[in-house]
Amino acid sequence: MAQERTDEELLAAYQQGDPGSFEDLLRRHRAPLFTFLLRMLGDRERAEDLAQETFLRIVKGAQAWEHRARFQTWLFTIARNLCVDQSRRDRFRRADSLDAQGPGDEPPMVDSVPGREIDPSRGAESALLRPVLQRALLSLPTEQREVFVLREQAGVPFREIAEMVGVNENTVKSRMRYALEGLRKALAAAGVSEETAAEAPDPGVRLGRA
Amino acid sequence: MTHAESQDLLLDLAYGELDAQRAAEVASHVEGCAECRKEKAALEETRRMAAPLRELEEPSPGFDDRILAAARAQAHLEHEGNVGQVIEVTGSVRPLGLEATRIDAHGPVQSRATRRDRPRWIVRAALGGSVAAAAALALVVSNTLETRRNAEKAKTARSDEYAIRVQTAADSLDGALRDAEVKRDKDRLETMKLEAVPPLPPAALEKEKVAQLSAPAHKPAKKKAGTPGVRIEGGGGDALGKLASRNTQAPARESDADRPAARASTASPSAGATTSGPPAAVVAAPAPAAQAEPRQPKSVAGAPAPSAVEANAQQARHAGNYPLAASLYRNAADLRQRDNDAGGAAWDLAHAVECLSAVGQFDEARRVRDELARLYPSETTALSAARRALREVDPPAAAPVQKNP
């Protein structure tokens, strides 16, 4: 059964000419990858663009792939690099635009559009809280945000994040600590604590700049 | 377990990255240590609050379509040996001693596993003549529409021209990737306008795009032939130059630098000249003589084009090879400086700073940043990007961001 095959087995089967295996891989990783990019960028459209591009690069590179690292590591490394590139461009653009705010990354407000992120099948609380969390996340420096999202959402171990990002594991963990600390402060500034989180805050709450 | 060790491992514990024994050791220290307990509680609380960020979200319906189409096209190419449809084989190379040979692209076609940058198909022809004459074959790769037009053209071609029209599936993947790149290039152009840096000439952009698209970082760009990947194997003689110069016409999107085989033959319009549609290409078979020629981009003869160096730098960066990327960006900056392109040079240096910072070479990064500040003090946007890359390690006062100089 396809579900029981590992990513690497699926990719090997695709290398042997079975497009169905790639379909399985895509189904398996589509949502995690998209969510990773969405958390990193805070913008659905860009996240979709980059997720598509990531998979297209996988297709392009599939024949040359050798089983030295996990497929997931490869996938997220590509996505992460595209993301770094993208956010750099965004920064440059913002730096010259009239609403430039300085060194901080002013998060895009896309997620605050009501209804866009709300999935009725999920808890109303988390749906309401998520835009606030997303903004808090976007207030973190990219280096911290990527470590946080890779570990927390994508479930990549610290050692592998270190390989992906090109720094040592201690640096990764230190960025993770900063990220958690920064998130905590940003949430506190937005009036979100564990208690209020449970009570579903006003989704219109703007985060104060930390 | 010491307190310091425990502190260090709290994160690993929280994310389940410790083996059972180690986890138990940390847990037992935490139990007796107020500071660790507090830290662990704070960490867990933040994670609980952030839990909604873990929930998966789905992209829009239709997200898969383009990817799956590309995946199928690629699998098709790689394994079935079906490069498409041979609609017609025209002409012969009789003057060179070859029997006209029907080549069936649906028949066994061998893929070259070693050339992985781009699927490549070698159509082996049963050649009756000398090996040298085989080089005289030229393959016309074309899409269906262009093929029709070409068929007419080819019929009127001289009898020593040998044209095979093939419809490639590679185009679909390339097209998909290109779309993605074009979109990003648009972003880039927009950025450049805002930066008031003169945009690269279209040709340079095109070159950069092609290089980026089709060359994986571990291979030099010149390795890929850039054309939709059909070639004929064989030796060659004098006939090659003659035929190639008549038959070979690069499609507009291919850059010269990426097309070594076509060097001798860029000028003359011929059968291929009408294949202006993007997927169309004519490839001349390489002869030993052609292979002996330096397969370098033209620009290498003098100074390399800065845009080419930048493209390589970007590839290295995407591949995570930041030290290489940084050094390439610095080379590119020198080249831009020579061209009196201060904006370009400043940005290259800024990219170098970012790459150096990414691998923790902060001292070097600072040096480059200072160089940038010294040489191009008016390039404030590039300068602030470089400073930003270092803001984590520099005290805030040392890294002011100049918003409005």
**Distance from B48 to chain A by nearest Cα, in Å?**
8
Contact B68 A183 (CB under 8 A): no
- In chain A, residues with a C-beta closer than 8 Å to the C-beta of B385 are 88, 91-92, 95
Residue A155 is classified by DSSP as -
Average pLDDT score, chain A? 78
Model pLDDT for residues B167-184, shown as the tens digit of each residue = 444 555 666 677 777 776
The sheet with strand B121-123 has its strands ordered as B110-111, B121-123, B230-232
Q: Which residues contact B320 (CB under 8 A, 6 or more apart)?
A: A77, A81, A164, A166
Model pLDDT for residues A187-200, shown as the tens digit of each residue = 988 888 776 655 54
**E strand or H helix at B123:** strand B121-123
Contact B12 A158 (CB under 8 A): yes
- In chain B, residues with a C-beta closer than 8 Å to the C-beta of A62 are 74
Q: What is the pLDDT of residue B45?
A: 92
Q: Band of the pLDDT at A173, cuts 50, 70, 90?
A: very high
Residue range A107-130: mean pLDDT, rounded = 50
Q: What is the pLDDT of residue A94?
A: 58
**E strand or H helix at B111:** strand B110-111
- In chain A, residues with a C-beta closer than 8 Å to the C-beta of B348 are none
Phi, psi for A150 (deg, rounded to 5): -60, -40
Compute CA distances A166 → A108, A150, B75, B210, B239, whole Å: 27, 14, 32, 27, 52
Contact B58 A34 (CB under 8 A): yes
Q: Band of the pLDDT at B115, cuts 50, 70, 90?
A: very low
Strand partners, B89: B164
Residue range A103-121: mean pLDDT, rounded = 40
Q: Is B5 on the interface with A (CB under 8 A)?
A: no
The residue whose two tokens read 């662990």 is: B40
Q: Is the per-residue pLDDT at A18 higher than 90?
A: no
Lowest-pLDDT range of B93-107, B205-219, B273-287: B93-107
Residue range B8-18: mean pLDDT, rounded = 92
Contact A56 B68 (CB under 8 A): no
Contact A91 B385 (CB under 8 A): yes
CB B106 within 8 A of CB B112: no
Model pLDDT for residues B318-349, shown as the tens digit of each residue = 777 888 889 999 999 998 888 888 888 998 99
More confidently predicted of B405 and A62: A62
Q: 3-class DSSP state for residue A175?
A: helix
Q: Band of the pLDDT at B380, cuts 50, 70, 90?
A: confident
Would strands B121-123 and B89-90 be described as parallel, antiparallel, or unpaired? unpaired
**Distance from B113 to chain A by nearest Cα, in Å?**
8
Q: What is the pLDDT of residue A204?
A: 40
Q: Band of the pLDDT at B230, cuts 50, 70, 90?
A: very low
More confidently predicted of A35 and B274: A35
Q: Is the per-residue pLDDT at B291 higher than 50?
A: no
Lowest-pLDDT range of A27-41, B152-166, B167-181: B152-166
Neighbouring C-beta atoms of residue A206, cutoff 10 Å: 11
Q: Is the per-residue pLDDT at A136 higher than 60?
A: yes
Q: What is the pLDDT of residue A157?
A: 93
pTM of the entire predicted model: 0.47
Q: Give me the residues of B, 190-219, that contact A with CB < 8 A.
A: 190-191, 194-195, 216
Q: Is the per-residue pLDDT at A183 higher than 60?
A: yes
Q: Give me the residues of B, 235-274, that contact A with CB < 8 A.
A: none
Instruction: Please give the sequence-ordered ranges of beta strands (E in DSSP) within B219-362, or none if there are none.
Output: 230-232, 281-284
Q: Is the per-residue pLDDT at A139 higher than 80?
A: yes
Closest in B50, B63, B74 to A52, CB measured: B63
Tabulate helix, strand, coil % of chain A (nearest 5).
Answer: 70, 0, 30
Q: Is A89 on the interface with B (CB under 8 A)?
A: yes
Nearest CA in chain A to B75: A17
